[in-house]
Structure formats: structure tokens, C-alpha cells
């Protein structure tokens, strides 16, 4: 079983992926269309991006975020919207939650990082009551949906190195997530694609966000200045740039939901 991946630089994560997560998370929450007054569990809450959406838009009766990394939880705790939330350190494969303690459990951009996704799903299922909601969304990496995919593909083109993606990226399609949810005993399973388009004032702004965090940043740091410049030029060729210099880019996530049977 692979070791879990954790993110220690919450601020860098928030600058790079946070805006993408917030935009896609809003669409995900619109799709779920939950009633108010639910007890929510956000598994792998990280810096609190999706947890904040729940606090601001879902009118929760209770809200708990769990993450393995203390620095991420500390960052999340500074968000005003989460002043009333319980933020707790814990493992997605052994949730510190009683059976049937919640009405809804979600994973936002997390399921493909869990060392054993089926076990993580089983833990979410255990933590919600019968009739409760179990849902997730993840970047559709197999179909190029990751926000930094242009940088990753440019790195492969220039250096020959394969992109570094989450260990279970293959499950991040609607079909695979739907199959995982059905195999996990969930009922009324639905899975869809969510497309999120963002606009940047210029390529430099896009480049700073897309190349400034995670595996792409580490790979770029190891290159010579000439090789980094080549990757930047290749990335520029892979994104849409308008006549006025503005950049548009679309990321795609897969979303899934199901109900714990009674």
C-alpha cells in the first residue's frame, strides 16, 4: 500500500489550487443541492476551501473537517467562516468519527490520494446515517482535467519525464468513480463531469499559479534555466491566449454521489 501524500504548505496550496477548488466545489455543491440543516463531514479538508463553501452555502447544522496535516488545519482554522466548525486531525482510512454520526460525508479532491480508495469510501459510508449522502469530486486526470495539466505535459515534452500525479489518478473518471461507489454498497449512484473555466489577465499570472506548487514546481526547480524557459514556452503553446493577452483555461473534475442504504 503506498504511503499517504500530505501537503504541508497550506498557503502555497491555497494560492495555486485553492481558486480552482473553490470554483469547481461551488459547481459540485450546486449539483448535490443538499437541504439545509445537515451534519457534514469533510474528509481531507486541507486548507478549508470546500469546508468554507459548506459553511457559507449549505446552512449546516454541524460541520466537521478532518485532515492528516496540522498545518492545513491551522490554516483552515483562520478562515472566519469556519469559526464554528470542528477541525480535527485524522486519517481518511480510519476516521475519528462514530458510526452514523453525520448526514453527509464528502471528499473534495482527495479520493485519488487515499492509499486505499475503497477503504476510504467504506469509512465515509460508515460515518453517515442510513439514507445519508456520500459524495466526492476529483480532477479527471486521465482525460487531462488537472488545472496544471499544460505544465505537466510541457515538462514531458521537454524533458521526457512522465507527469507526477496522485497515486490513484486512474479512478478519477466519472465511470471509475461510479463503479467504485456501486462496489462500495452505495445506492442511487450518479457520476458526472464538471468543467470549470477560469480567466487570467496574462500568461505570467497563469504560469505563476500553474507552476508554483506540488510536483510541477519540484520538477521545474530541478531544471536548468534554459530547460525551464523551454517548458514555459511549451506551456504557453498549450493554453488559449486572446489577442489582448488574457489566458483562458478549463479544468475538468469527475463528481460522484450515492446514498447509504437503510
pLDDT 10s digits, 66-110: 999 999 999 999 999 999 999 999 999 999 999 999 999 999 999
For 108, residues 6+ apart whose C-beta sits below 8 A from its C-beta are 21, 25, 28, 42, 44, 45, 46, 49, 50, 136, 137
Contacts of 221 (CB under 8 A, 6+ apart): none
Integer-rounded Cα radius of gyration of the chain:
18
Q: Which three cell numbers stand for residue 80?
A: 472566519
Residue 244 lies in a domain: no
pLDDT at 164: 80
Question: Hunting for cell 490554516 — which residue is that?
Answer: 75
258 vs 125: CA distance, rounded Å: 10
Please give the pLDDT value at position 11. 60
In a domain, 219, yes or no: no
Q: What is the pLDDT of residue 16?
A: 65
* Average pLDDT, 10 consecutive residues per value, the chain (262 residues): 46 70 95 98 96 97 97 95 97 97 97 97 98 98 94 94 89 98 98 96 94 85 96 96 97 98 93
Domain-embedded: residue 106? yes
SS3 227: helix
Number of domains in the chain: 1
Specify if 103 maps to a domain.
yes
Please indicate, yes or no, if residue 143 is contained in any of the structural domains.
yes
One DSSP character per residue, 126-159 reads HHEEEEEEEEEEEE-GGGT-STTHHHHHHHHHHH
Model pTM? 0.90
Residue 1: what pLDDT?
Answer: 39
In a domain, 83, yes or no: yes
Could you tell me the residue range of the domain that residue 133 belongs to? Answer: 10-197+251-259
Report the CATH number at residue 147. Answer: 3.40.50.150
Amino acid at each position: 500500500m503506498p504511503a499517504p501524500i500530505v501537503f504541508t504548505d497550506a498557503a502555497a496550496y491555497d494560492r495555486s489550487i485553492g481558486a480552482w477548488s473553490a470554483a469547481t466545489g461551488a459547481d459540485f455543491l450546486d449539483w448535490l443541492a443538499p437541504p439545509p440543516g445537515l451534519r457534514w463531514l469533510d474528509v481531507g479538508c486541507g486548507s478549508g476551501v470546500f469546508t468554507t463553501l459548506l459553511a457559507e452555502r449549505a446552512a449546516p447544522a454541524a460541520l466537521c473537517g478532518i485532515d492528516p496535516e496540522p498545518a492545513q488545519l491551522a490554516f483552515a482554522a483562520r478562515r472566519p467562516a469556519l469559526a464554528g466548525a470542528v477541525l480535527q486531525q485524522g486519517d481518511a482510512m480510519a476516521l475519528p468519527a462514530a458510526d452514523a454520526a453525520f448526514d453527509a460525508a464528502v471528499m473534495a479532491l482527495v479520493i485519488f490520494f487515499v492509499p486505499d480508495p475503497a477503504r476510504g469510501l467504506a469509512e465515509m459510508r460508515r460515518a453517515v446515517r442510513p439514507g445519508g449522502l456520500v459524495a466526492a469530486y476529483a480532477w479527471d486526470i486521465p482525460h487531462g482535467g488537472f488545472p496544471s495539466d499544460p505544465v505537466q505535459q510541457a515538462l514531458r515534452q521537454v524533458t521526457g519525464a512522465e507527469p507526477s500525479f496522485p497515486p490513484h489518478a486512474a479512478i478519477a473518471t466519472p465511470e471509475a468513480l461510479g463503479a467504485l461507489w456501486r462496489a462500495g454498497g452505495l445506492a442511487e449512484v450518479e457520476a458526472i463531469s464538471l468543467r470549470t473555466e477560469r480567466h487570467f489577465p496574462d500568461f505570467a499570472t497563469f504560469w505563476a499559479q500553474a507552476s508554483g506548487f506540488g510536483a510541477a514546481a519540484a520538477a521545474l526547480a530541478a531544471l536548468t534555466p534554459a530547460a525551464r524557459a523551454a517548458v514555459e514556452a511549451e506551456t504557453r503553446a498549450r493554453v488559449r491566449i486572446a489577442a489582448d493577452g488574457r489566458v483562458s483555461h478549463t479544468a475538468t473534475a469527475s463528481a460522484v454521489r450515492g446514498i447509504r442504504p437503510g
